[in-house]
Structure 1
Amino acid sequence: MQYPVRLSRRSLLALAAAAATPLAAQQAAPAFRPTRPVRILSPQQAGGSTDAILRPLAQKLSDLWGQPVVLDNRPGGGSIIATQAVVQAPPDGHTLGLAINSLTINPSLRNDLPYDTLADLTPVTQIGSATVALVAHPSLGVQTLGEFVQLAKARPGAIAWASLGIGTGGHITGELLRKRAGIDIVHVPFSGSSGAYRELLPGRVQAAFVVLESAMPHVRAGNLRLLAVTDPRRNRQFPQVPTLEESYPGVAYEGIFGLVAPPGLPPEIVRAIHADIARVLAEPSVRQHRSSRPWT
């Protein structure tokens, strides 16, 4: 089960690198000026952590391009529904898709994908990364990862934990933790963070893997307890929080976000969109919306 997590990080970075490499030999990219609204298809529910990443980016791109840039949320299927919509769109720059780790985890989990992940998508750029955290509801009465594991061993099958969907990095990390720690905890998948929090905050689901930044207001308010982060190393903003890797080597996950486009998008349009996104991401008003690690 460790292999899909490695595949996710390496493959998504490879997608980003494939888009970035042609720019190295370019001093200036041609301009991209859409003639109608541009859609960014997101595989998660509206109002979640991915929207917090995409909305400031979409607004700035809209200002730059002179056309609305609209977020089109297509949750479900472990990101397959949104990805297939990108694959089927015309390759003219007016449709982009948000690539999360499940994009490259899915080929390791499923043999019935309706597309070829590497052949049927055009990589555009990596736009950022996020720290994912294991949090627990106070009703569990645990303060640390060790106490969580101890309780799970004492009460097999009694603790339900949420992820943001089947095949997401949080799902795979939770399964790795379950296997490495030898615990029986029940997975409850959602199609994004908003659904997960609806069940987590009242305690109907007792634990979850969620984006650290989205969890911190609830942690500070005492509504959730932060047990660990999934980064390979401790997060620099929260150095007191241990990593899963410290207790269970091999259980590490980094959340990475990128943009992809339909197959056959001309290279000159890829370069132009890449350059515009890099320009927008460099603006302070966009960077302040970054997740718990700096945007790329």
Structure 2
Amino acid sequence: MRSQSAGSARGSWDGHDRKRIAMNLRRRKFLRLAAGAATAAAVARTAHTQALDFPARPVRIITHSAPGGSPDALLRIVADRLSQMWGRQVLALNHPGAGGAVAARTAAAAAPDGYTLYMPASSAFVTLPGLQANLPLEVPRDFVPVGFVGEQPFFISVASSLGVATLAEFIALAKKRPGEISYAATGRGTLSHLAGEALQQRTGIKLLMVPYLGGTAQALNDVMVGRVPMVIDGYPPLAGALQAGAIKALAVGSTARLPDFPDVPTAAETFPDFKVRGWLALVAPVGTPDAVVRKLSEDLRSAVTDPATKSRLETTGNYPHPMTPAELLAFIHAEQQMWKPLLEQIARNP
């Protein structure tokens, strides 16, 4: 009897113990979830507070351009307006070299707090893989998209000595002299090279690409004397030669004629839907808080659409088209897909 009673008591105790353990486990799970929720809420509040207070100190924006280059000039216009809006200094940091790889590497290693940003050109996203370390960039793997800074429609320009006045006349001349007329590009697989290849594909002409690793400024000496009679690039590096009449703009790769250059027809007027342009975007290191990215994107939109700033940008051949981070991400991916077949063709035919 005692043995039976003892066994019964143990069974009762074991059942009670199991219930107590289960309750303790549920309580601990609840406490962990509550603690996690509290932590997440605290992090969210901290990020929100950081965004409200941002920027609390100077902001640095890295560019691959040398001082005085086209991207550098554009950056300084935008930086001036952001400085006025924030009451904080916005510094342009120049890290030229290795086709933009130096700037990309420096920016990627920065603290993801919004105080060091990066303004890459389209050539950092659209280029032949393997030409430079870490390029082309991929978003959001390498950087967080912030916003679109400006578009630079490319001008199809020739030496005045070539003797053509329109794009149609140039195409007709090139068809008579296949493979004889050369054009300057800033390197193999760069956007200026892609623009020349796209023009050849669309028109059925054959041109000779001459790479200038020193950029369009270096190429212009040969273009102006007619040694390399054609160049395709944005307005800023061509401005002096165009204004002096040393080269002539036959067409521009925008979707419509530009207000500041109403006498320059679009390439699409001769070849429908043909467009080619460079562009610049603002990105942040991976890990930058979402609230800070949103604040940066909204303030960038306000800066580039400010009437005075917009006018300064447009007179230098840069045209703002504000985008949200999500829109910029989609835009970059679309550009990469658009140029991918041509890049693959160039890779197969070095």
The alignment's TM-score, normalised by the length of structure 2, stands at 0.65
Moved more, 62-71 or 141-150: 62-71
Q: CA deviation at 1:121?
A: 0.7
Q: Does 1:261 align with 2:284?
A: yes
Report the equivalent of 2:155: 133
Question: What CA RMSD, in Å, does the superposition of the two structures yield over aligned residues?
Answer: 3.0
Q: How do 1:15-94 and structure 2 match up within 5 A?
A: 30-35=52-57, 37-63=58-84, 64-77=86-99, 79-94=100-115
Q: Residue type of the partner of 2:80?
A: Q
Q: Which one has a larger percent helix, Structure 1 or Structure 2?
A: 2
Report the equivalent of 1:295: 320
Q: Does 1:221 align with 2:241?
A: no
Cα 1:251–1:76 change in 2 (3 A) is: farther
Cα 1:207–1:273 change in 2 (3 A) is: same
Across the two proteins, how many residue pairs are aligned to each other? 266
Identity among equivalent positions (%) equals 32
Report the equivalent of 2:138: 117
Cα 1:259–1:166 change in 2 (3 A) is: farther
Report the equivalent of 2:325: none
Cα 1:289–1:191 change in 2 (3 A) is: farther
C-alpha distance after superposition, 1:21-79 (max 9, x if no partner): xxxxx9xx6231254x53322233432322221112223334535335123142443x3
- Relative contact order higher in (CA < 8 Å, ≥ 6 apart): 1
Q: Residue type of the partner of 1:197?
A: L
Report the equivalent of 1:209: 232
Q: Does 1:271 align with 2:294?
A: yes
Matched residue of 1:290: which SS?
helix
Q: Which has the larger radius of gyration?
A: 2
> In the aligned structure 2, how far is the partner of 1:264 from the partner of 1:76?
25
C-alpha distance after superposition, 1:199-218 (max 9, x if no partner): 43344432111213553553
Matched residue of 1:175: which SS?
helix
> In the aligned structure 1, how far is the partner of 2:52 from the partner of 2:185?
41
Q: CA deviation at 1:84?
A: 3.0
Report the equivalent of 2:200: 178
Structure 1: gaps of 5 or more residues: 1-25
Q: Residue type of the partner of 2:238?
A: A
Matched residue of 2:301: which SS?
helix
Q: Residue type of the partner of 2:241?
A: H
The alignment's TM-score, normalised by the length of structure 1, stands at 0.76
Q: CA deviation at 1:293?
A: 6.0
Matched residue of 1:289: which SS?
helix
C-alpha distance after superposition, 1:67-122 (max 9, x if no partner): 35123142443x3442233223221223221132223323xx32686366111111
Matched residue of 1:110: which SS?
coil
